[in-house]
Amino acid sequence: MFTQLGIIGCGLMGGSFALAAKRAGIVKRVVGYSKSPSTTEQAKRLGIIDASAESALRAVAGSDLILIAVPVSAIEATFKAIRQLIEPGALVMDVGSTKRDVVDAARRVLKDRITSFVPAHPIAGKEVSGIASADATLYQGRQVILTPLQKTPAELVQKATDAWAAVGSNVLRMTPENHDAAFAAVSHLPHILAFAYFNSVARQPAGRDFLSLAGPGFRDFTRIAASNPEIWCDILMANREEILKQTQAFRHTLDAMEHVIRTGNADALEALIRSASDARAGWQMNAGTPGSAR
Amino acid sequence: MFTQLGIIGCGLMGGSFALAAKRAGIVKRVVGYSKSPSTTEQAKRLGIIDASAESALRAVAGSDLILIAVPVSAIEATFKAIRQLIEPGALVMDVGSTKRDVVDAARRVLKDRITSFVPAHPIAGKEVSGIASADATLYQGRQVILTPLQKTPAELVQKATDAWAAVGSNVLRMTPENHDAAFAAVSHLPHILAFAYFNSVARQPAGRDFLSLAGPGFRDFTRIAASNPEIWCDILMANREEILKQTQAFRHTLDAMEHVIRTGNADALEALIRSASDARAGWQMNAGTPGSAR
């Protein structure tokens, strides 16, 4: 399907895609570039890439599939670095957790090469990062959101869809705006709450003692608080408009719970809990496919 | 070790203790009582109890180990119902998630029989409740907090410790006050945040679409939002003083995160995330044993 995959950014996401694409047989050769030469070397030693490139531009040369897997704040600079060598017909994708800023950057920088770009967001990850955590099964059974531009050729969007399907993902299409609103709600806000919650407990005088008593509910609730600070700082800054709408909505429901607790209104409290509990019990991961392109 | 275990409340907690105690060989016979006769029948049919009692009082008659496994708001009424037949030397425990209110109720109701009572809180549970979910391994490797009163005989506290150790738990001792402060922080507040968060997302106009896109981070973060409404309403009401202190502390750290996001202060945001991420990465369940009695 592709002759050469160029990955820019040899971390968990890029490395896992390289492994999965090779295993699926959709790429013959993988060339990788990473800001840190020792990371690129490690990726080669681990057999995740076949050759290391000295620059992002060199990773693009001769590649008909290019995956930009760097933090969202570095995507615009990457576009600038690679623009010249994107060949007509090549497919360029990112894996960023926000899409409006990435599409804006693409419009600014890629100019006529923008028709090669299909913005992608795979809903997959781990709390650990780095090439050593790369995993050929990371994208299996996960959703991948594509937010193609109006002028993107339909056959290129299909190629992108096929590539993600080949590594085991379910592909959906949305607008960048809908994407960013949805992920502010279901991903970015939970991360903020988990970070804020952990800081809140850990910084109390008795915090250490408290934490030593925490059980499995706490463990699962706070798992995402261990996420990579650099990556998450980027995401939260890139999508801050939508995120601040979500924190606002959350404050209203938190206010409501606190109010009924403070005033001792047990019936109202139980109703609020039941509403959340029933909704969560009825939720299933990957159950719906709104706007699905499948 | 014991001749007869009487369990009052045939749900997940009581049923699991009965199964585990029998498997560990520390009780010969189990008598169970439940508010709903059909639940008691089911417990018998499942082989979790040997005999069903028609009242809480009858479950206590002839029992030298009594486990009160009802919602915290029903514990005082249970004390009243069983007080007359608690035999000298018998061990009475509860499994409530709050301890100050339970100790206060015991003082009010049990009077001279209070020397039989050792308040207990096993840090174990599931999002599912009910006798059908009873599990002999529920308490294995979990912490159990005992908050004995000053006048409780040391040998009875030791008996309680041995009973929980026999079903695989690690036993700690604390004051009821320290217990309630700690669990407001590491258990009750996360539940409130998970309930409020789920309501906040589910009630938005596009909530259904948003939820269909949520991934594994969301799944784990919201697992506790599916908890039993009746039980959790009770817990949150019983410990509201400590809980409102914790929501206050949480609001401060949430305010701080929102402020740096709103003002675009990426360095400060990254520092806040890093502080949470490092602390969470260094946390391990059951790692510490403050005030341990082992």
pLDDT tens-digit profile of B216-257?
999 999 999 999 999 999 999 999 999 999 999 999 999 999
Under the banding of pLDDT at 50, 70 and 90, the label for residue A129 is confident
The residue of chain A nearest to residue B233, with distances taken between CA atoms, is A270
Mean pLDDT score, A214-236: 94
| A29's tokens | 């050769």
Question: What pLDDT score was predicted for residue B288?
Answer: 52
Strands (E), chain A: 2-8, 27-33, 51-52, 65-68, 91-94, 117-118, 120-122, 143-146, 170-173
pLDDT tens digits, residue range B107-126? 999 999 999 999 999 998 87
Phi, psi of A197 (to 5 degrees): -65, -45
CA–CA dist A124, A121 (Å, integer): 9
pLDDT tens digits, residue range A244-290? 999 999 999 999 999 999 999 999 999 999 999 999 999 998 765 44
Pick B215's closest partner by Cβ from A229, A253, A285: A285
Residue from B161, B162, B139 nearest B148 by CA: B161
- The torsion region of residue A30 among left (phi > 0), alpha (psi -120 to 50) and beta comes to beta
Residue from A146, A167, A52, A40 nearest A102 by CA: A146
Question: What pLDDT score was predicted for residue B294?
Answer: 30
Estimate to the nearest angstrom the gap between the alpha carbon of A133 and the chain centroid.
16
Q: Which residues of B touch A198 (CB under 8 A)?
A: 276, 279-280
Q: Is B186 on the interface with A (CB under 8 A)?
A: yes
Under the banding of pLDDT at 50, 70 and 90, the label for residue A77 is very high
Report whether B2 contacts B27 (CB < 8 A): yes
Mean pLDDT score, A36-49: 96
Q: Three-class SS of residue A145?
A: strand
Residue from B194, B222, B235, B13 nearest A282 by CA: B222
Burial per residue of A184-195, b for 16 or more beta-carbon CB atoms within 10 angstroms, e otherwise: bbbbbbbbbbbb
Match 């923008």 to its residue by tokens: A114
Report whether A60 contacts A67 (CB < 8 A): no
CA–CA dist B218, A183 (Å, integer): 10
Report whether B93 contacts B149 (CB < 8 A): no
Under the banding of pLDDT at 50, 70 and 90, the label for residue B128 is confident
Q: Three-class SS of residue A138?
A: coil
| B190's tokens | 């996360």
Report whether A40 contacts A32 (CB < 8 A): yes
Q: For strands A120-122 and A117-118, give the pairing.
A: unpaired
CA–CA dist B15, B215 (Å, integer): 33
The count of C-alpha atoms lying within 13 angstroms of the C-alpha of A132, restricted to the half-sphere facing its C-beta, is: 4
Report whether B93 contacts B110 (CB < 8 A): no
CA–CA dist B134, A10 (Å, integer): 46
Range(s) of chain B covered by CATH 1.10.3660.10: 179-281
Pick B197's closest partner by Cβ from A244, A250, A273: A250
Mean pLDDT score, B37-57: 97
Q: Is B244 on the interface with A (CB under 8 A)?
A: yes
Under the banding of pLDDT at 50, 70 and 90, the label for residue A108 is very high
CA–CA dist B221, B219 (Å, integer): 6
Mean pLDDT, all residues of chain B: 95
DSSP letter string, chain B: -EEEEEEES-SHHHHHHHHHHHHHT-EEEEEEE-SSHHHHHHHHHTTS-SEE-SSHHHHHTT-SEEEE-S-GGGHHHHHHHHGGGPPTT-EEEE--S--HHHHHHHHHHHGGGGGGEE-EEE----S--SGGG--TTTTTT-EEEE---TTS-HHHHHHHHHHHHHTTPEEEE--HHHHHHHHIIIIIHHHHHHHHHHHHHHTSTTHHHHHHT--HHHHHHTGGGGS-HHHHHHHHHHTHHHHHHHHHHHHHHHHHHHHHHHTT-HHHHHHHHHHHHHHHHT--TT---TTB--
Range(s) of chain B covered by CATH 3.40.50.720: 2-174
Chain B: give the shortest CA distance to residue A1, in Å.
28
Is the pLDDT at A292 greater than 80? The verdict is no
Under the banding of pLDDT at 50, 70 and 90, the label for residue A294 is very low
Question: What pLDDT score was predicted for residue A291?
Answer: 39
Which of B123, B177, B211 to mutate to test binding with chain A, by most A CBs within 10 Å of its CB? B211
CA–CA dist A44, A109 (Å, integer): 30
pLDDT tens digits, residue range B139-173? 999 999 999 999 999 999 999 999 999 999 999 99
Under the banding of pLDDT at 50, 70 and 90, the label for residue B286 is confident
Burial per residue of B177-188, b for 16 or more beta-carbon CB atoms within 10 angstroms, e otherwise: ebbbbbbbbbbb
Which CATH code is given to the segment(s) A179-281?
A: 1.10.3660.10
% residues pLDDT > 90 (chain A): 93
Q: Is A201 on the interface with B (CB under 8 A)?
A: yes
Domain B2-174 belongs to what architecture?
3-Layer(aba) Sandwich (3.40)
CA–CA dist B124, A88 (Å, integer): 59
Mean pLDDT score, B3-31: 97
CA–CA dist A124, A146 (Å, integer): 14
Burial per residue of B11-21, b for 16 or more beta-carbon CB atoms within 10 angstroms, e otherwise: bbbbbbbbbbb
Chain A: give the shortest CA distance to residue B137, in Å.
14
Residues found in chain A: 294
Q: Which residues of B touch A223 (CB under 8 A)?
A: 217, 220-221, 280
Q: Three-class SS of residue A257?
A: helix
Task: For residue B174, give every residue at least 6 positions away whose Cβ sits within 8 Å of its Cβ, in sequence order, or none.
Answer: B145, B146, B147, B182, B291
Chain B: give the shortest CA distance to residue A152, in Å.
24
| A180's tokens | 């960013």
Q: Which residues of B touch A122 (CB under 8 A)?
A: none
Q: Which residues of B touch A97 (CB under 8 A)?
A: none
Burial per residue of B157-166, b for 16 or more beta-carbon CB atoms within 10 angstroms, e otherwise: bebbbebbeb
Task: For residue B85, give every residue at least 6 positions away whose Cβ sits within 8 Å of its Cβ, in sequence order, or none.
Answer: B57, B60, B61
